[in-house]
Amino acid sequence: MPRIRPGPGVFSFTCSQAGQTSILSGATNMGHTNREKTARLEDRVTADPTSGQAAIPCIVHFSGRMTGVSYSLSLDKELIIGRAPEADISIPDRRISQRHARVVVSSDGTVFVEDLGSTNGTCVNGKKITRQALSDGDKVQISRNYILKFCYETNVVAETAGRNGVNATRDALTGAYSKQSFLVRIEEDFNQARKQNEELALLIFSVDDWAKINATHGTNAGDMVLRAVAKLVNATLQREAVLARYDNNAFALLLRNMSEGGVVVLAQRIRRIVKNYHFILEGGKIPLTVSLGIGTLTKNMKNALDMIHAVQAYLDKAKRAGHNTINGSQSIRAIYRQITNKHAA
Q: Among 150-159, 214-223, 258-267, whose mean pLDDT is lowest? A: 150-159
Q: Give Cα 256 to chain centroid, integer Å.
A: 22
In terms of pTM, does the model score above 0.85? no
pLDDT tens, position by position, 172-193: 889 898 888 898 889 889 999 9
Encoded amino acid at 305, one letter: L
Query: For position 66, what pLDDT does the model report?
Result: 60
Band (pLDDT 50/70/90 cuts) for residue 65 is low
Q: Is 226 exposed, middle or buried (0-12, 13-18, 19+ CB in 10 A)?
A: buried
- pLDDT confidence of residue 283: 63
Rounded to whole angstroms, the Cα distance separating 104 from 143 reads 20
pLDDT at 163: 34
Cβ neighbours for 271, distance < 8 A, ≥ 6 positions apart: 289, 290, 292, 324, 326
- In sign, the C-alpha dihedral spanning 146, 152, 155, 160 is positive
Q: Number of C-alpha atoms within 13 angstroms, CB side, residue 95?
A: 17
158 pLDDT band (50/70/90 cuts)? very low
Position 91 confidence tier, pLDDT thresholds 50, 70, 90? confident
| CA distances for 52 relative to 157, 169, 188, angstroms | 12, 20, 33
For range 128-144, the mean pLDDT: 92
Dump pLDDT digits (tens) for 3-27.
333 333 333 344 544 333 333 333 3
Conformation bin of residue 310: beta by default, left when phi > 0, alpha when psi is -120 to 50: alpha
* Structure confidence at residue 233 (pLDDT): 94
